[in-house]
Amino acid sequence: MKQQSIYVTTMTSALSHNLAGSQGQFPITQNVTVVEGGTANMTCRVDYNDNTSLQWSNPAQQTLFFGDKKALRDHRIELVRASWQELTISISEVTLSDEGQYTCSLFTMPVKTTKAFLTVLGVPERPEITGFTKPALEGDMITLTCTSSGSKPAANIRWFRNDKEVQGVKEVNATGKSFTVRSSLQFQVDRRDDGVAYTCSVEHVSLPSPYMTTEVLEVHYAPHLEITHSLIIPQEGQYFKLECVSIGNPIPEPVLWSKDGGELPDIERMIVEGRELTITTLNKTDNGTYRCEASNHLGTSSAEYILFVYDPNALGQHGPDHALIGGVVAVVVFITLCLIIVLGRYLARHKGTYLTHEAKGAEDAPDADTAIINAEGNHVHAEEKKEYFI
């Protein structure tokens, strides 16, 4: 009988300890972050439990599950695991409206509760670029706007001109629980923008890699022409080619060739193929000013080339170079000699003036004896000046 009493006391003491442990603890939960459209698992657990039920409730305090019993009719909410120490549920196809504070309750006396916050990331839509005028005209002021909606938190937009980042002006507007983000670029277009790719990049924590949209700018501008030639020193009998190089959008055409303000005089030797003018056999009659002209709907441009045909018999292979060098050398030698002569005359004149001042006083003497006396007197004074300065 004594032994039985001891046993009962022991069991009661153990039960009281477990009951105290269950009543003194709070459920353990964790905050959950999920991307919109994904699945969120909400777990609640306890270390000790004396067959007391666990319950999950949504932010509106509606019971989702009480133990393993489903309380809310929502096909997206399912039971994952239910035991005396854990209650885990899943919410599939999560929307932004599912975000909020969920409550796990342990039904002891009193009831113990713990909160878990479900954060839903809104996935941004793919960006769209507006404001492109195709084609744009050189000198136009245009504004490109990149827009992306549905992000939460607000997405970040970056602009790139080809591969170089450029700064836009950002604007964020709330639309319900999500955000619409816009970024604008404003600039004056010129011909250097023709064919340039402008890319809008949207970055967000919900995206494994940025969403990107690219538009290529087309710019129309007036033509600019230049003439290139195949020979530096054209000579009689040679084959000679001129090319009219044109820059413009749309491409300026057709290219019209003329000589000295009129038509080409010899169409048998002067052959036009597209932008090229070829003279098959040069002669002196080909000397003159050649002009090419082309236009598009934005304007007309022209370029000129003056042709002078040399006589190969009168012109050595390197004659012009030698003549130029000889002329330069002759000019340099002439200038050097002139400088030497001028400098020599200046020095001689300066020295003569000095000697004249030394003999001053002898010029006006009536006879030779007086002149000598006056000159000697000047030397004496010079010596006196010398001694004075010393």
Could you read off the pLDDT of 318-375 as tens digits, one per residue? 445 555 666 777 888 888 888 888 887 878 776 554 444 444 454 555 554 554 455 4
Query: Token pair for residue 333?
Result: 């030698």
What domain range is 264 assigned to?
A: 222-307
| Residue that is last in its domain, among 307, 325, 357 | 307
Residue 380 located in a structural domain: no
Q: State the total domains in the chain.
A: 3
Residue 390 located in a structural domain: no
| Residue that is last in its domain, among 188, 217, 246 | 217
**How far, in whole angstroms, is CA 36 from its chain's centroid?**
34
- Verify that 37 and 106 share a domain, yes or no: yes
Return d(Cα 276, Cα 199) in angstroms, integer: 39
Instruction: Tell me what pLDDT residue 49 has.
Output: 78
- Verify that 197 and 145 share a domain, yes or no: yes
Instruction: Tell me what pLDDT residue 332 has.
Output: 84
Instruction: Tell me what pLDDT residue 109 has.
Output: 85
Cis amide bond preceding 59, omega within 30 = no
Residue 352 located in a structural domain: no
- Verify that 139 and 101 share a domain, yes or no: no
Instruction: Tell me what pLDDT residue 94 has.
Output: 96
How many CB atoms lie under 10 A from the CB of residue 198?
22
Low-confidence ranges of the chain (pLDDT < 70): 1-24, 315-326, 350-390
| Residue that is last in its domain, among 185, 217, 249 | 217
- Verify that 199 and 248 share a domain, yes or no: no
What CATH number is given to the structural domain containing 234? 2.60.40.10
The alpha-carbon radius of gyration of the chain (Å, integer) is: 51
Predicted TM-score (pTM) above 0.75: no
